[in-house]
């Protein structure tokens, strides 16, 4: 039972804004307004307490979608203004992700893995190393020499290599006071264009995206257009 009687536009906002699937369809511009109106019509009538013409709901959905698009454009433009000329970008191809699972409750094996990788760390500076409670992720250039240096570690610790990757790095200047605008901007672009991510890491000064080679160039261009 609905105890609150509200207007049709208010009912539209309440129902659509609280449903991830509906919002995603509207943001991506793939929603069929008539089909959506038919689907939510019973809920709209429950909230408004009266029978509603289907066309009235379609018009209200269209207005909600237009307002949503306008809001997203304003937010992206605002983010561009705040971060322009403060962020630097780079795109690096031929990247491999070497993943080593940590052994739980086995510090000796983990220390041994670190020792095996010492040669790599000492001789090569073109890498990113990310560590969690469960694994090490080593992102580096795909080259025969590098594969040779980590071969023993891969064999001994059952490492897994993911190939065909590229790396996008967005670096912020130390005096940038709005790093989360960059993170929000990047996330929105990837979400709105449905660009799959292999992995992503960020700190207060840097955002690192690992994507498939086919997706990286598109993502790089879209992000670069927004941040300048």
Q: What is the pLDDT of residues 123-172, one digit of tens each?
A: 655 777 777 777 778 888 888 877 877 777 777 777 788 889 999 988 87
CATH says 87-227 is which class? alpha beta
Single pTM value for the model: 0.56
Q: Kindly report the number of other CB atoms within 10 A of residue 218's CB atom.
A: 13
pLDDT class of 82 with cuts at 50, 70, 90: very low
Q: In the chain, what percentage of residues exceed pLDDT 90?
A: 11
- Say how far apart CA 126 and CA 91 lie, in whole Å: 13
* Residues ≥6 apart with Cβ < 8 Å to 206: 169, 170, 171, 172
pLDDT of 2 reads 46
Angle between helical axes of 20-28 and 54-83 (0-180°, round to 10): 70
* Segment 70-77 mean pLDDT: 69
* CA nearest to 138, candidates 107, 160, 112, 111: 160
pLDDT of 211 higher than 90: yes
Buried b (16+ CB within 10 A) or exposed e, 112-151: ebeebbeebeeeeeeebebeeeeebbbbbeeeeebeebbe
Which sequence spans correspond to the domains of the chain?
8-83, 87-227
- How would residue 175 be classed by pLDDT, with cut points 50, 70 and 90? low
Looking at the predicted structure, is the pLDDT value of residue 6 above 50? yes
Question: Is the confidence at residue 32, as pLDDT, over 60?
Answer: yes
Task: With beta carbons less than 8 A apart as the criterion, state whether 170 and 92 touch.
Answer: no
Measured CA to CA, the distance from residue 142 to residue 96 in angstroms comes to 6
Average pLDDT over the chain, rounded to an integer? 79
């Amino acid at each position: 039972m609905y105890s609150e009687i509200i207007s049709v536009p208010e009912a539209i906002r309440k129902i659509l804004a609280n449903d991830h699937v509906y919002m995603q369809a509207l943001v991506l511009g793939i929603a069929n307004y008539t089909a959506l109106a038919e689907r939510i019509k019973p809920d709209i009538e429950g909230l408004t307490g009266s029978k509603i013409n289907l066309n009235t709901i379609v018009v209200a959905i269209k207005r909600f979608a237009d307002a949503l698009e306008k809001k997203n454009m304003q937010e992206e433009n605002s983010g561009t203004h705040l971060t322009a000329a403060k962020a630097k970008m780079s795109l690096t191809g031929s990247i491999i992700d070497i993943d080593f699972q940590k052994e739980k409750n086995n510090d000796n094996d983990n220390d041994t893995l670190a020792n095996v990788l010492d040669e790599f760390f000492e001789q090569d500076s073109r890498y990113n190393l990310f560590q969690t409670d469960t694994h090490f992720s080593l992102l580096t250039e795909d080259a025969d020499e590098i594969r040779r240096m980590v071969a023993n570690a891969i064999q001994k610790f059952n490492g897994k290599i993911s190939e065909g990757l590229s790396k996008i790095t967005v670096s912020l200047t130390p005096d940038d006071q709005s790093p989360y605008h960059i993170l929000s901007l990047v996330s929105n672009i990837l979400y709105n264009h449905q660009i799959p991510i292999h992995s992503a890491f960020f700190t207060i000064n840097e955002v690192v995206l690992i994507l498939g080679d086919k997706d990286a160039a598109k993502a790089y261009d879209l992000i670069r257009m927004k941040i300048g």
